[in-house]
Structures are given as C-alpha cells and as structure tokens.
A and B are shown apart, each in its own frame.
Chain A
Amino acid sequence: GAGVSQSPSNKVTEKGKDVELRCDPISGHTALYWYRQSLGQGLEFLIYFQGNSAPDKSGLPSDRFSAERTGGSVSTLTIQRTQQEDSAVYLCASSLEGQAFFQYFGPGTRLLVL
C-alpha cells in the first residue's frame, strides 16, 4: 500500500492476556517507530528501528513491552500480561533513513484492556 498500515485497528483484551500489534511501513522506509498515545495526551516514544542496527528501546515503559522487526520491514509490538493502564492508541510511523523529522504515521491500533 501507499501508506503505513496497522492491524488490528481495534483490540479489546482482558487484563493479563498478551497482545500483538502489527505495523507495515511504507516500502523503502528503513526507519520504523512505535509510539503510544493515551487518551487526550501527546505521543510517547516507545522504540525505534533503523535497518539492521540495534533498536533504540529507551522508551519502552516496562519489560512487558517488546518489539521485533523482521526482514527490515514488518514490525510487531508485543505487550505481555496486559494491564488496564496499557489501554491507549499505539501508533507506528516510518521514515527514510536519517529523516526522523519526516515521519509518516499509520492509523493506529486502539487497545482496550478490561
């Protein structure tokens, strides 16, 4: 597709369950970012992938959060043992290498933990 896509668009889960969120970046974009947006809040950086370099995980809030990027393209954000405070919109963005100031965002996955 032409833009960043994310799936699922909505996810409702029970506290304690694991969830996986998927991001397909724009073709050719080597940089991929995950953000979390709580209700009425700004975007909180989670993790950044650039090519084959080690990811910048400095924004992950706890060890329950992890992310992978396979083949330099699709990325999966995994949240283990979900908590109610994990409820948020999870946004993925991609950019060309070295152009973090020009990120294209996906529509997000709305996660609700009951």
Chain B
Amino acid sequence: GESVGLHLPTLSVQEGDNSIINCAYSNSASDYFIWYKQESGKGPQFIIDIRSNMDKRQGQRVTVLLNKTVKHLSLQIAATQPGDSAVYFCAEYSMEYGNKLVFGAGTILRVKS
C-alpha cells in the first residue's frame, strides 16, 4: 500500500551537532524521494530530493542517503543550527501514485542552544 513512515517523532540535538532524520518507505517502485522542512506557521519548504537510481546526494549542509535494499531514506544535517528547528517530512513520488506525493508523518527537530 501507499505508506511512508518515520522512525522518530521527535529529535533533540545540541547546536553544532549533526542531525540524522530517518524515514522508511514501502513502494520500491518510487522514482523520487523528497525532504521538506516545515517551520511553525508556514507551509513545507523543499530541502533536497534524490532519484531512485542514486544512493547519496549532497546539498548545502544537508545530505540525503537512500538505501533501496532496506527501503530507508535519511536526511543528515551538518552543524545543526537553531534555525533548523522545524518538522521534517519525507515524501515519495511514483508514477504509480499519479502526480501526487505521499508524505510521511514527520519528525520534529529541536535544536538546543
């Protein structure tokens, strides 16, 4: 069925540490995986995406890793800053779903100063 889930609902990290947010997905036919950041009172904001034929993709302070063997996706944030505090969602895109994304439940990231 269509499901994208997250392992940890809340993650607290110290400012300057690295953060890792995890996501499990169920559809091995998905073409894209996307991470969104949602700050309080705002809509989700695109962070980074990765195609299904890739294992790793790096952005500015963020890295997404895709392990298709175990259907696992992770978002790594380097040197976490207070401005990184938000809810992070993974989303899954597949032609099987039509032109829409299937979102996971979200992980709250809290950065302690």
What residues of chain A have their CB less than 8 Å away from a CB belonging to chain B? 4, 31, 33, 35, 40-45, 48, 50, 56, 58-59, 91, 93, 98, 100-108
A98 in contact with B46 (CB, 8 Å): no
Chain A: which residue is nearest B2 at the CB level? A45
What residues of chain B have their CB less than 8 Å away from a CB belonging to chain A? 31-32, 34, 36, 41-46, 49, 89, 91, 93, 98-106
Min C-beta distance of A102 to chain B, whole Å = 7
Complex-state Cα separation, A103 to B99, whole angstroms: 11
Cβ contact of B100, chosen from A41, A100, A102, A107, cutoff 8 A: A100
Chain A: which residue is nearest B41 at the CB level? A107
A4 in contact with B43 (CB, 8 Å): yes
B99 in contact with A98 (CB, 8 Å): yes
Residues of A within 8 A of B42 (CB): 107-108
Chain A: which residue is nearest B43 at the CB level? A105
